[in-house]
Amino acid sequence: MSFITTSDKTRIFYKDWGDKNAQPVIFSHGWPLSSDAWDGQMLYLLQQGYRVIAHDRRGHGRSDQPAFGNDMDTYADDLAAVINELDIQNAVLIGHSTGGGEVVHYIGRHGTGRVAKVVLIGAVPPIMISTEQWPEGTDISVFDGIRKGVFDNRSDFYLNLAIPFFGMNREGVEINEGLRLSFWNQGMAGSIVGQYACIREFSEVDYTEDLRKITVPALVIHGDDDQIVPISHSGLLSADIIPDAELKIYPGASHGLAATHQHQLNSDLLAFIQS
């Protein structure tokens, strides 16, 4: 397995597939998952001739599990460490959910010098909780409930969270045990310390100014039945804040649309990358 070591001696696991001379597409995953959440997109774009790269966020997946650095500034710097170590240029950055926050905060801290395009999928920016600027967000009590679920019994919590994550609680949608167990497996591979700390980073961090710094072409994709990151306080706002962003709304799609709408998403990603 491949790792880079950050300045604070944390090992970050990453996948790097494809021709090193091909255009790189870099993926940042959601909480509490790992780079495995992108399997369907990475394999597809690899088959189209792209170099595909994804890392496990610290405290998640196969990366180290330190009790420090579990904050968005460090997550963004870890992404920068991967990009710099591999000397990536002209990259397409793709972030889902918390990974969307990671991608835009990377740009906020490190700029767009190595970035060609950005895609946000079901992403948390600008901010999930209600603020004076963005007053119609999710109440903080919801995230306190997530903290309690992770602390008390994260194994059971993740099994249950997978159901609304993939929209399996909607009428006519069957329980997909494979997706549910994949979600659980990825979640349980990570550290309770890092995952617990990360709840604040996806819910209470304001990414508004990071979004305004995106000066490259940007695509925002969001399901209008996302029960985890409601579109009205995330995707719709981000598409307005990012200069000249393109917005694609997937009718009826859940938060886990990378799996439930894999073929549609793959097609849209390829079209955007090639545009």
pLDDT in tens, 175-204: 999 999 999 999 999 999 999 999 999 999
Q: Cα angle at 197 between 195 and 198, to 5 degrees?
A: 60
**Structure confidence at residue 187 (pLDDT):** 98
* 7 given a catalytic annotation: no
Q: Cα angle at 75 between 106 and 70, to 5 degrees?
A: 150
Q: Cα angle at 40 between 38 and 42, to 5 degrees?
A: 65
Q: pTM of whole model > 0.85? A: yes
Which residue bears the tokens 């990671």?
102
Give the mean pLDDT of 154-183: 97
pLDDT at residue 1 tops 90:
no
* 263 given a catalytic annotation: no
Note the pLDDT tens digit of each residue in 81-125: 999 999 999 999 999 999 999 999 999 999 999 999 999 999 999
Catalytic residue among 226, 234, 238, 268: 226
**Structure confidence at residue 97 (pLDDT):** 98
Give the mean pLDDT of 246-254: 98
* 255 given a catalytic annotation: yes
Whole-number Å distance between alpha carbons of 50 and 23: 6
Whole-number Å distance between alpha carbons of 139 and 257: 24
Which domains are seen in the chain, by residue range?
2-274 (3.40.50.1820)
Catalytic residue among 55, 60, 255, 261: 255
